[in-house]
Structures are given as C-alpha cells and as structure tokens.
Amino acid sequence: MIIAIDGPAGAGKSTIAKKVADSLGYVYIDTGAMYRAFTYELLTSSISLSDIEEITKVLEKTNIEFKNSEIFLNNLNVTNEIRSKNVTANVSAVSAIPQVREKLVNLQRKIASESNSILDGRDIGTVVFPNAELKIFLTASVKIRALRRYNELIAKDKNIDINEIEAEIEKRDKLDSSRETSPLIKAADAIEIDTSNLSIDEVVNTILKLAEEICENESL
Ligand code: CDP
C-alpha cells in the first residue's frame, strides 16, 4: 500500500506523514529531504547550478539513504544541514532539473517497493506513484504556512523575519508549480484537505480513516 501526500511548502505534509506512518507502521519517505540533500551536495562542492554536465556526473556518484529517519549523503549525516537557508533558497532550481528528478524518483520507487510506505512531496500522486491507493493534497493559506514555518524556525534562529519566510514560500510555490518536469499539481484523484483551520490530529485522523476504508474495501 502506498499513501501519497503532496502539497506546497508548509502545508504540514511532513508532520502529518510522520504521524500517519507511525500509526500504521509504514515507512515514511521524505522526498523533499532527498532533493535538499542533493542541493546541499552541489552547494558544498561549489558546482554551478546551470552546469548540467557536471551535475549529471556528480549525480552518478551520489548516494542518498535514510537510516532511522535521518538522511545520509555519501555516508555523512546531513539531516540538519539540509534545512539551511541556502539549501532552501536553491532547492527549487535543483529539483527542476530532469536528470535529478529521474535519479531521485527511481530511488523513491525502490525504497517504497520494500514496505508499505507513505511518501510526501510535490509529484508523488502524479508521477512517482500515479497508482497509489490513497492520494492526499494538503493545502493552507500562504499566511498560515508562513506562520507555521516561522514557529518552527524561531527556536533555532531568533533573527528570522516572517515576511521574508512568506516571500520565500511564495517564490518556491511559484517555481515548483510552473516548472516543466513534474510540476506541483493536484492529481485528479487526490483528496484535497485545507489544513488552515484544522489541528494536526484532525488531519491525521482524517487520513487514517480514509486509509482504513481503502484497506477494508481492498482487503489489504
Ligand atoms: O518542507 P518544505 O515544504 O519546505 O519542502 P520540502 O518538502 O523539503 O521540499 C523542498 C523542495 O524540494 C520543494 O520546494 C521542491 O522544489 C522540491 N521537491 C520536489 O520537487 N519534488 C518532491 N517530490 C519533493 C520536493
């Protein structure tokens, strides 16, 4: 069984996907973390983001793995590093490169083929698993999404500015939705949940109920 959760930045995908995965005993695959890890690799090796030839070479040698909910890039734990401002500012450009998507999508499919899985991202229900048994599209107003991200980040960095976060989210939404390869769009058969006025538990319970119904119908 595959559960696909797509949606824009800050809609609550990862928090909700983790909780649903824990409740069901599924593996959680944070596909955004994979794009972030590869972006981190390019930035730390000072490779120009327009040098597709060089990027393709690096891609071939890159190894990305999850171990106990932490992400490893070529055996190095980069779980914290991939959340930096610099990675966030560049990840949409890197994830728009078709060669990057091809490699990471193959890896996502391989990991998910080994267990019941819940994946979150931008193209899970449309491209990675178009036949997923359950597809959810999470949304929330941009103001609410910026506030959530602000609350998450303020614990680590007192100098952050909510207007800057809102602008960054809007910019990323635009880039992710308008790119040619696998843009962020709602799959025709995805169930949309606007999380603006819902608690985390309300969203989690809605998804758990939907998953239960599917399991009963399909006797999975
Ligand atoms: O957590 P947040 O919403 O900030 O984003 P993320 O899930 O960590 O994803 C970071 C970026 O990776 C997105 O803005 C997309 O550009 C890209 N991404 C993608 O293209 N396809 C995916 N399946 C997941 C992420």
Give pLDDT tens digits for 16-25: 999 999 999 9
Angle between helices 85-95 and 31-44 (to 10 degrees): 100
Q: What is the mean pLDDT of residues 157-161?
A: 86
Q: Taking residues 140-159, what's their average pLDDT?
A: 90
Flag whether pLDDT at 193 surpasses 90. Answer: yes
> The whole model's pTM is what?
0.95
Instruction: Name the amino acid, one letter, at 101.
Output: R
Atom 20, ligand 1: residue with shortest CA distance: 95
Q: Residue 150 and residue 168: Cα distance in Å, rounded?
A: 12
CB 29 within 8 A of CB 112: yes
What is the CA(173)–ligand 1 centre distance, in A?
A: 10
Query: Using CA positions, which residue lies closest to atom 21 of ligand 1?
Result: 122
Reported confidence tier of residue 220, pLDDT bands at 50, 70, 90 = low
* Ligand 1: residue whose CA is nearest its atom 15: 92
pLDDT at position 124 over 70? yes
Q: Is the CB of 166 under 6 A from ligand 1?
A: no
How large is the average pLDDT for residues 162-175?
A: 94
Per residue in 100-120, pLDDT (tens digit) is 999 999 999 999 999 999 999
Tell me, using a 6 A CB cutoff, whether residue 91 lines ligand 1. yes
